[in-house]
């Protein structure tokens, strides 16, 4: 049986460099202005890319990865802000689904609910359940507290308690970031299974910038540790 190819996307160097450091037989090539690292982690074939911050870069990277490498699974890894009092800094959130909170066609005659994406006709784009369950199991085995729930993506660093409450109340989201749902939209449209795994760097409130500065690297390392362990356990 041929092994799967796992496509892994992070927005920043701190979210992917630790994975690339563990890769064997690694080669790199630039496609569409994005550097892709191809090799193995454990016994698994992987292609790893830093997409850049924000939904446009994330979507561009996911589309290029799918067209050029045809991964069986795409996993978005990195850090996020918490939208729940139960989810603390350095905890892990593994998405059951993702939403684009700044997609808004509620006016202009469209009448769509906020977050609903045309041509996909979804607000909550579902992640692959088996991958999410495996990631949660691995997180627990490494001693990292994990939560399953909705992750909300938009082109804003959330550092506002009012916005934090709106995201939680409107979408039931427990974490927020800037790439996962854009990757989810591409994967949903292209019918590629995907997952989003994020370690919490801040609380999404007025203290978020200071907390992020202190914990971003530690949170990114947690996400890398879980993803690396997940890949090494795959058969």
Both tokens of residue 50?
A: 């830093």
* pLDDT tens per residue, range 33-91: 999 999 999 999 999 999 999 999 999 999 999 999 999 999 999 999 999 999 999 99
CA–CA separation, 194 vs 186, rounded Å? Answer: 10
Task: Tell me the C-alpha distance between 201 and 81, whole Å.
Answer: 6
**Which residues neighbour 67 within 8 Å (Cβ) at sequence distance 6 or greater?**
none
If we measure between CA atoms, which residue out of 230, 54, 48, 34 comes closest to residue 130? Answer: 230
Among candidate residues 13, 15, 43, 86, the one labeled active-site is: 15
Q: Look up 202 and say whether it is catalytic.
A: yes
Catalytic residue among 91, 100, 179, 202: 202
Question: What 3-state DSSP class applies to 213?
Answer: helix
Nearest to residue 175, comparing CAs of 103, 114, 117, 92?
A: 92
Q: Is the pLDDT of residue 144 over 70?
A: yes
Tens digit of each residue's pLDDT (9 = 90 or more) over 183-225: 999 999 999 999 999 999 999 999 999 999 999 999 999 999 9
Confidence of residue 109 (pLDDT cuts 50, 70, 90): confident
**Mean pLDDT on 164-175:** 98
Catalytic site residue 15?
A: yes
| Range 117-128 burial, b when 16+ CB lie within 10 A, else e | beeeebbbbebb
């Amino acid at each position: 049986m041929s092994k799967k190819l796992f496509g892994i996307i992070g927005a920043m160097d701190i979210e992917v460099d630790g994975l690339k450091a563990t890769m064997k037989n690694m080669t790199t090539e630039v496609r569409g202005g994005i550097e892709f690292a191809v090799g193995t982690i454990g016994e698994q074939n992987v292609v790893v890319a830093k997409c850049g911050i924000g939904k446009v870069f994330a979507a561009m990277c996911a589309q290029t990865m799918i067209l050029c490498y045809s991964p069986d699974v795409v996993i978005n890894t990195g850090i996020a802000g918490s939208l729940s009092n139960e989810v603390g800094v350095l905890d892990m959130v593994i998405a059951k689904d993702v939403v684009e909170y700044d997609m808004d066609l509620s006016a202009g005659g469209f009448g769509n609910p906020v977050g609903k994406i045309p041509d996909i006709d979804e607000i909550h784009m579902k992640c692959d359940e088996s991958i999410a369950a495996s990631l949660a199991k691995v997180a627990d085995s490494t001693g990292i507290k994990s939560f399953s729930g909705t992750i909300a993506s938009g082109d804003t660093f959330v550092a506002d308690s009012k916005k934090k409450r709106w995201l939680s109340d409107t979408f039931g989201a427990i974490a927020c970031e800037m790439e996962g749902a854009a990757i989810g939209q591409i994967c949903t449209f292209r019918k590629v299974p995907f997952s989003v795994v994020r370690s919490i760097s801040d609380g999404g409130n007025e203290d978020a910038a200071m907390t992020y500065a202190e914990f971003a690297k530690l949170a990114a390392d947690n996400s890398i540790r879980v993803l690396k362990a997940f890949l090494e356990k795959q058969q």
